[in-house]
Structure 1
Amino acid sequence: MAVSRSTHFTPAVRFLGSCYKQRHLAPHQSVGWRAISGGEYKRPGQTQDNTPIWKKFDFDKGVEGIRKHFTLLKNEFLGRWTGPEGKPLIEHILEQTRVIWEFRGPESLEQWTVSSDQEIGGRSEAYLKLGRNNTTCLMYGTLCSAPPRDGETRYSGYCTMRSKPSMGSFDSKKHHDWSSFNTLHLRIRGDGRPWMINVGAETYFSHQKDDMYSYFLYTRGGPYWQDVKIPFSKFFLSSRGRIQDDQHPLWLDKVNTIGITLGDKADGPFQLEIDFVAVCNDRAHTEEFAYEVYKRNPEV
């Protein structure tokens, strides 16, 4: 017997649901061209950009893009002869820790995007810059939970940073393969606020496009660094801000993006400094999944 999608709404993921509602479920945009084309959010009363696409095209950028994609295609083809992900097979088997993102220069910030409720008319501000000595990443800003006065938006107050999806040659999808690891490792320095770690994985069906795996990140205030290790078995499945009854483990071989979101409804300044984001294989952790899994075809 299949388990239906849950409608339980919990305070733990309230800001995720409010974020989705404002960006994807506005009453005047429930079903329309935006849902098909995947366009950006348009505030009520905002004029639509009707500039023809041929006026936006740049020939020089097009040639440079073709050159870049052929270079990526060459590297992908040659990397398969070396081993998985371009590494020798013995190195891939014995690898215990892999640093996925580290911030050691301005180019490292280009792999991330920062957004806030300003996209829906809110007043929160979020910025991303390098820390001291250009060896860390500092996300800072001000959180404001007051909704905009447009007569439609009910919730507001979130700031998030999210990694850009990995793209291969000719904009083909690339996934992070973390199947050899079981723990997410971050080195951070926060201000005492609770954050949420969101991991997005590849899905097979269109109604699963809003699914994400989440877990909480509790930071300590003060000048000292904090090493956080979160087992992937602790991540729970949610959709549009609602925890699902039908839980299942994260597919570690098809990870697309990872994000860090603040939405604790505590107005005021915030900051979070990140040294690196890595994955590791903790041999002491043997748990497969921390939550109850329903049998789709229960035994009689």
Structure 2
Amino acid sequence: MSFPKMTRLLSLRSLTSVHQQLLLPSIPTRLVPSRTLTQNEYRRPGKPRENLPPWLKIKFDLSKGLEGIKKHFALLKKELTDPWVGPEGRPLIEHMLEQNRVVWEFRGPESLEQWTLSSDREIGGQSEIHLKLGRNNNTCFLYGTLCSAPPKDGETRYSGYCTVRSKQPLASFDRKKHHDWSSFNSLHLRIRGDGRPWMINIAAETYFSHQKDDIYNYFLYTRGGPYWQDVKIPFSKFFLTHRGRIQDDQHPLWLDKINTIGFTLGDNADGPFQLEIDFIGVCKDFAHTEEFAYEKYKRNPEV
């Protein structure tokens, strides 16, 4: 080996040793956080992390599995036969002339199984919310107590909310199913409240996983008193939020990909509350021609 090649080889080895001794120890391996390509699941403050492996979360039950197989094959049979009758299993002429549709009505204990309750007790708060059938089992009665005192965990600064939300409709074998409200332009409610303002939340299907917390909101003002209140809210009035923050990039609600609807109370007025719901439906208001009530910004405006 010639002398210039030997000198070049020794210089490269010396630089490699210096890099290993000086640069690498300055970044301890155990302190580097692991990064993933997808967004991590949101964890509420005060809620412990779940470190269980996936196979421990599965509950094996033979009888429950047989009931599930029977249920899913019945749903699959319905999915295959409904298109021969018409859209959503109804005649085509009925679908074309439909102007009103009742989506949720409360006429028995099985109707309450389509809803889930949530409150700040999940993060250590003191609010309570309950759901039961009203008088004569013909309405849904939502009641509880709101408390805005935050939990003393050192992390949570705000508290005081109660929420009821419909469950995601599922097709056979637990595939996602959506509500198609593209033939309607307004939400129709028949309620009886105590004068508190509520927030209506509508969640639609999204293209990307980081948009899974996008929700459309609008306000529901109850009058209070013993009389029922018919409320019609156009879908064009709903605005886009992400985890409670109003977004600058607004766009209309996708009415053919509706997943869930919910009601949230968080007016910072501590004390009891109640809300009675007769039905939740959609309607076609021909007097309403507005497409979207809010300004839509463009990232790259046209010149």
Measured against the shorter chain, the TM-score band is 0.7 to 0.9
How much does 1:36 deviate? Answer: 7.2
Counterpart contact for 1:72–1:169, Cα < 8 Å: yes
Mapped pair 1:120 → 2:120: no
State the alpha-carbon separation in 1 of the partners of residues 232 and 143 from structure 2. 23
**Distance across 2 between alignment mates of 1:114 and 1:263:** 14
Decide which of 236, 246, 249 is 2:239's aligned counterpart.
Answer: 236
Q: Secondary structure at the match of 1:110?
A: helix
Contact 1:143 1:158 (C-alpha < 8 Å) held by counterparts: yes
Q: In 2, are the aligned partners of 1:144 and 1:268 still within 8 Å (CA)? A: yes
Amino acid at match of 2:128: E
The 8 Å contact of residues 136 and 275 in structure 1, kept in 2 or not, is answered as: yes
Partner secondary structure for residue 79 of structure 1: helix
> How big is the shift at 1:56?
2.7
Partner of 1:219: 222
* CA shift for structure 1 position 37: 8.4
Deviation at 1:255? 0.3
How does 1:256-295 map onto structure 2 within 5 Å? 256-295=259-298
CA distance in 2, matches of 1:86, 1:132: 32
Deviations 1:91-115 (A, max 9, x none): 1100000000000000000000111
* Residue pair 1:44, 1:150 contacting (<8 A) in 2 also: no
Q: Give the aligned partner of residue 76 of structure 1.
A: 79
Is 1:92 matched with 2:95? yes
Ranked by relative contact order (alpha carbons within 8 Å, sequence separation 6 or more), the top structure is 1
Report the Cα distance in structure 2 between the residues aligned to 1:58 and 1:84, rounded to whole angstroms. 36
| Residue matched to 2:164 | 161
> How far off its partner does 1:43 sit?
4.0
CA RMSD of aligned residues (A): 2.4
The alpha-carbon deviation at position 293 of structure 1 amounts to 1.3
Give the distance between the partners of 2:58 and 2:284, measured in 1 at CA.
50
- Aligned partner of 2:140 in structure 1 is 137
Question: Match of 2:198?
Answer: 195
Q: 2:177 aligns with which of 174, 177, 180?
A: 174
- With normalisation by structure 2, the TM-score equals 0.83
Q: Distance in 2 between matches of 1:192 and 1:204?
A: 38
Q: Hey, what's the Cα distance between the residues in 1 that align with 2:233 and 2:109?
A: 28
Match of 1:20 in 2: none
Name the SS of the counterpart of 2:195 in structure 1.
Answer: coil
Q: Give the distance between the partners of 1:234 and 1:284, measured in 2 at CA.
A: 15
CA change 1:54–1:247 in 2 (3 A) is: closer
Give ranges in structure 2 of 5+ residues lacking alignment.
1-32
After superposition, the Cα gap between the structure-2 partners of 1:37 and 1:151, relative to the gap in structure 1 and judged at 3 Å, is: closer
Question: CA–CA distance in 2 between the matches of 1:277 and 1:31?
Answer: 45
Taking a change above 3 Å as real, the CA distance of residues 177 and 52 of structure 1, as seen in their structure-2 partners, is closer
Cα distance, 1:208–1:55 mapped onto 2, change above 3 Å: closer
Corresponding residue pairs, total: 270
Aligned-residue offset at 1:298: 2.6
Contact map agreement 2:39 2:210 (CA 8 A) in 1: no
Aligned to 2:29: none
- The gaps in structure 1 that reach 5 residues or longer are 1-29
The 1:195/1:55 distance shift into structure 2, 3 A limit, reads: closer
